[in-house]
Structure 1
Amino acid sequence: MRSSRSELLEVYETLLNAYGEQNWWPVDLRYHREMGSDPREEIVIGAILTQNTAWKNVERALDNLKRAKLLSFEGILKTPVGKLQELIRPSGYYRQKAERLKNVAEFLNPVSSVEKISREELLDIKGVGRETADAVLLYAGNRPFFVIDAYTKRIVKRVFGIEGSYEGLRRWFEDNLPKDIKLYKEFHALLDEHAKRFCRKKPACDKCPINHLCTQP
């Protein structure tokens, strides 16, 4: 099993050179300046909306919330659930997600609480799983929790020959990477970008920038 820090960092550096900085999580800073809202609230809202859907669908839902001037915890909490469901419909599972948004907006209000709230407290919120909790902690709270998603699992299995539980893979990354929040953010985003470009369900290995590191024949 290959799991050394140097090999994991080599994957990171190779992907960074191939794709450049992803600067994830994307937020509309101009909108928040004009509205006087906190960009971290958009990150939390996006983390809920991205559950079980593609990011392009999340963007459509976020755009709807921005046009309605409701892209904030205050906006989520004051909006009738039926109207909220319609606004976020493009993200799919809109009934469940409307309920989850209200739960999270109430629990994390003010959003500065993401700087100190425990992971266990986040996981106690109905509709917040491990991936969502870690995304909130990392991208909104600037805390060193590595996010594991389906893309990450796929790449780790192919490149390193490693399979494991969510918690096992999260610990594997955190044990083998320096506690660098920017690196965590960029690495997760780069893995997602790589999975979309090359390491798809049916991989395009010929031009893959890390095919020389891959254990998959």
Structure 2
Amino acid sequence: MNKVYEIYKDLYDYYGPQHWWPADDWFEVTVGAILTQNTSWNNVEKSIENLKQRDLLEPEKLSKIKEDDLAQLIRSSGFYNLKSKRLKNFLEWLKKYDYDIDKIKLKSATSLREELLSIKGIGKETADSILLYAFEMPVFVIDAYTKRMFSRLGLILSREYDEFQDFFEKNLTKDVQLYNEYHALIVKHSKVYCKKTPKCSDCFLKEKCNWGVNNL
């Protein structure tokens, strides 16, 4: 078992399954992935609930709403005017596939990633979150939590997104459920122990962590 799998097993044994992404369907995941940019998940949930209460959380229905009206409905997620534009840009792309997830899944992850990254306002983390959690394709998501935790562990020193992603995908079996669970566990651990100011003395990974060993 390599070190990357070993860390996964430790996290899973300690926290158990995370059941992430919390959503009713694939489209709700995509909306959440865009709205969660630069804000907390609690704020995103309020916006999504607004859309649900108005029976608007469907691609065709959301496409028909005016951009300004959509902005007000997602106000709680912050940067609401910008995010309304980004959602509209994404919906325009989705329209090419007739809003049909089955048609989308006929294409490769590589091809879809290129298309998603061509949409204004969709960066690598958002695109990969959509690919993994909504389209169920084996693409490992890298975020600030992942970079912080694995830099402290001493397993990778780069700060570049693509190098981090390549590191995980080379060291793990290409598996949607594994990628899903691992990323969710990293987020969980980063909120409990591996915070900006880490709680190394209490962390169950401290003996395997360069930062923990050097700072205790």
Name the SS for the 2:201 alignment partner: coil
- 1:158-169 matches, cutoff 5 A: 158-164=152-158, 165-169=160-164
**Among the aligned pairs, what percent are the same residue?**
47
Consecutive unaligned residues in structure 2, runs of 5 or more: none
Residue type of the alignment partner of 1:59: E
Residue type of the alignment partner of 2:93: F
Moved runs in structure 1, 4+ residues, more than 4 A?
A: none
Q: Is 1:174 matched up with 2:160?
A: no
Looking at structure 1, the residues matched to 45 and 153 of structure 2 have their Cα atoms a distance apart, in angstroms, of 30
Match of 2:89 among 80, 91, 103: 103
Looking at structure 2, the residues matched to 82 and 136 of structure 1 have their Cα atoms a distance apart, in angstroms, of 24
Tell me what 1:32 maps to.
none
Deviations 1:159-180 (A, max 9, x none): 1252320000000000000111
Tell me what 1:88 maps to.
74
Q: Give the Å deviation of 1:156.
A: 0.8
Decide whether the 8 Å contact of 1:73 with 1:106 is kept in 2.
no
Residue type of the alignment partner of 2:113: R
CA RMSD of the aligned region, Å?
A: 1.3
Tell me what 1:36 maps to.
none
Tell me what 1:196 maps to.
191
Match of 1:153 among 147, 165, 168: 147
Name the SS for the 2:37 alignment partner: coil
Deviations 1:165-210 (A, max 9, x none): 0000000000000111100000000000110111000001122121
Decide whether the 8 Å contact of 1:158 with 1:214 is kept in 2.
yes
Looking at structure 2, the residues matched to 133 and 162 of structure 1 have their Cα atoms a distance apart, in angstroms, of 23
Decide whether the 8 Å contact of 1:114 with 1:136 is kept in 2.
no
Tell me what 2:120 maps to.
126
Match of 1:78 among 64, 68, 73: 64
Match of 1:136 among 117, 126, 130: 130
Q: Give the Å deviation of 1:75.
A: 2.4
- Report how many aligned residue pairs link the two structures: 203
Looking at structure 1, the residues matched to 179 and 47 of structure 2 have their Cα atoms a distance apart, in angstroms, of 26
Between 108-117 and 124-133, the greater mean CA deviation after superposition: 108-117
Q: Give the Å deviation of 1:114.
A: 3.9
Deviations 1:30-53 (A, max 9, x none): xxxxxxxxx111011111001111
Q: Give the Å deviation of 1:83.
A: 1.6
Residue type of the alignment partner of 2:13: N
Consecutive unaligned residues in structure 1, runs of 5 or more: 29-38
Name the SS for the 2:47 alignment partner: helix
Looking at structure 2, the residues matched to 187 and 114 of structure 1 have their Cα atoms a distance apart, in angstroms, of 25
TM-score, normalised via structure 2 length: 0.90
TM-score, normalised via structure 1 length: 0.90
Residue type of the alignment partner of 1:10: E
Q: Give the Å deviation of 1:111.
A: 4.1
Name the SS for the 2:122 alignment partner: coil
Change (3 A) 1:95 1:21: same
